[in-house]
Amino acid sequence: MLGCPDGEREEHLKGAGHQNSKLYSSSSVAYEKSMFSSNPDVMLALSVFALKLPGRETRFREPFFQNMEQIVEEVVAALLPMLDEKPFALFGHSFGALTSFAVAEHLKKQHNVEPVHMFLSGAPAPFSEIRLKSQRRSELSDEDFLRWLSSMGGTPPELLANPEVLQFFLPALKADLHVVENYRCARPEHPLLHCSLSCLDGKDDLPHNLQEWRCITSGEFTIKMFDGAHFYLKDPGNEKLLLDHMLKHLEASQLDYL
């Protein structure tokens, strides 16, 4: 997914790849779009767009969003003009998985639009007891936060040891966690969506009880586990397995769409 101010929307929404379908990607880290764009098979099948939040990259002068509603409002405003006759899918990892769900929920309720497939990675369902009872890490001291982040793996040690980088990196991560930790969503009594859903995770990550995502859609539901922990996506072998999984399911979803 991608969010941006009105004046920058056209520039930021330029994606790479073929125009058969569109994939909107969301995460608290900036490796997803490069992961997709470096794969020629993906670029033949998809146009890939990535979420860019305030307070980082070219938007570093803008204040961080304080809640999920702000993110959804901006992202939906950016997406709607692009949701034409071509099918689209949503991909989100960790923070991005919850963001993707919140956007999909809004699109369905307010515009009766939904993706052909959602890929949600590394996160419990928003109404999960695991999530609601987890520690509020956005309130940790910087020292304790860095210790926790290091224990998760996937973050280069040289980055964690660089005070200049941390000056920008830490506030952005804490802002993302603040949004996630304060996001609340009731468990749906009936499936809100009808699209297919893939839940993805690292085998050594904290338990996320991915089965709880099942109730959000009446469509096909699959769980795929990968070797590794929370940042399993960074492993080159997992990257290929993930992209193969996504392309297979997107091809099937597009046939259903047509």
pLDDT tens-digit map of 89-102: 999 999 999 999 99
pLDDT averaged over every residue in the chain: 83
Q: How far is CA 235 from the centre of its chain?
A: 18
pLDDT tens-digit map of 151-197: 887 788 888 889 888 888 899 999 999 999 999 999 999 999 999 99
Mean pLDDT of 212-237: 95
114 half-sphere exposure, CB direction, 13 A CA radius: 22
Q: Taking every pair of C-alpha atoms in the chain, what is the biggest distance, in angstroms?
A: 52
Angle between the 163-182 and 68-79 helix axes, to the nearest 10 degrees?
90
Mean pLDDT of 63-79: 93
Task: Give me 39's structure tokens.
Answer: 């794969």
Strands 47-50 and 88-93: what pairing?
Answer: unpaired
Whole-number percent of the chain with pLDDT over 90: 50
74 half-sphere exposure, CB direction, 13 A CA radius: 23
- pLDDT level of residue 26 (50, 70, 90 thresholds): confident
C-beta separation of 235 from 95 below 8 A: no
- pLDDT level of residue 46 (50, 70, 90 thresholds): low
Domain 6-134+184-253 is of which CATH architecture?
Answer: 3-Layer(aba) Sandwich (3.40)
- pLDDT level of residue 10 (50, 70, 90 thresholds): very low
Task: Give me 131's structure tokens.
Answer: 């999530």
- Give the pLDDT confidence score for residue 211 in this predicted structure: 97
**Residue pointed to by tokens 């949600």:** 120
Residues annotated as part of the active site? 94, 230
C-beta separation of 76 from 106 below 8 A: yes
Average the pLDDT over each of 10-19, 79-88, 167-176 and give the range with the smallest value.
10-19
Residue-range domain boundaries for the chain: 6-134+184-253
Helix (H), strand (E), coil (C) string for the chain: CCCCCHHHHHHHCCCEECCCCEEEEECCCCCHHHHHHCCHHHHHHCEEEECCCCCCHHHCCCCCCCCHHHHHHHHHHHHHHHCCCCCEEEEEECHHHHHHHHHHHHHHHHHCCCCCEEEEECCCCCCCHHHHCCCCHHHCCHHHHHHHHHHHCCCCHHHHCCHHHHHHHHHHHHHHHHHHHHCCCCCCCCCCECCEEEEEEECCCCCCCHHHHHHHECCCEEEEEECCCCCHHHCHHHHHHHHHHHHHHHHHHHHHHC
Is residue 210's pLDDT more than 90?
yes
- Give the pLDDT confidence score for residue 207 in this predicted structure: 92
Is residue 22's pLDDT more than 50?
yes
